[in-house]
Amino acid sequence: MRFVSALLAAVVLLALPAAAQATARIHIDLSRQSMHVTSAEGAQYDWPVSTGRPGYRTPTGAYRPQRMYVMTHSAKYENAPMPHAIFFRGGYAIHGSYETSRLGRPASHGCVRLAPGHATILYQMVRREGASILITGVAPGRERPRDGERLAHRRPRYGNGAAAYAPPISPYEAPLRTWSVYPLDGQ
C-alpha cells in the first residue's frame, strides 16, 4: 500500500506542467531519516533529518508549502522553537532544530527536523523558487500506520491480564474495565 502511494505521488509530481517543475524538489525518506533537495538552479543537498518518533508519525505523500515563518514556536509542544519553518500539511512542518545530536533518527512529534543551518538554506531556496515535497518510506523500528492515522501511545502490558493488578473496587475508584486497559493509572 505504501509503495502504491509513493508511486502515485511520484507520477503526480512528474505529470505537473514544465513551468511548475521549475521549483525546488524536496524528498524526505523516512526509512533513511534523510532529505535530498534539488534546487531549480541545479544545486543538490543531502541532509540528515529527524521525523516522527514512536507514538507519532510524519505523514507520507506529495505536498506543497502552505505557509512559512522565519521563526515560530509550537503552541502544542511547550513553546518549542521552530526556526525557518515550512508548513506543508496542517501543523506539520519542516524546520530547524537545536537538538542536532538527534538528527538521523526518529525524534519529533511528526515534524521534519533538520540542522538550523540547513533549515536556513532550505527556507531561502523555497522562498525564492517554491517547492514540491515528497515524503516516502517508514521510520526505522516503526509499525506501519494507515494513512491519516497517528499511532497511539502504547502502555506496557502486565502479565496475562490487568485485572489481577486492579485494587478492590469501591464507588470512589475506577471501574474494572478502566483498570484492565490502564492498570497503573491513578497510582
Domain covering 2-136: architecture: Beta Barrel (2.40)
pLDDT class of 78 with cuts at 50, 70, 90: confident
- Identify the pLDDT of residue 46: 97
Q: How far apart are CA 55 and CA 119, in angstroms?
A: 25
- Identify the pLDDT of residue 79: 83
Start-to-end CA distance of the chain, whole Å, equals 42
Task: Give 51: exposed, middle or buried? Use CB within 10 Å, 0-12, 13-18, 19+.
Answer: buried
Closest to 77 in 3D by CA, of 113, 46, 48, 103? 113
Domain locations in the chain as residue ranges: 2-136, 155-187
What's the chain's average pLDDT? 77
- Identify the pLDDT of residue 156: 37
Closest to 181 in 3D by CA, of 171, 165, 150? 165
Higher pLDDT, 183 or 89: 89
All three cell numbers of 103, joined, read: 538528527
User: What is the percent of the chain with per-residue pLDDT over 90, rounded to a whole number?
Assistant: 56
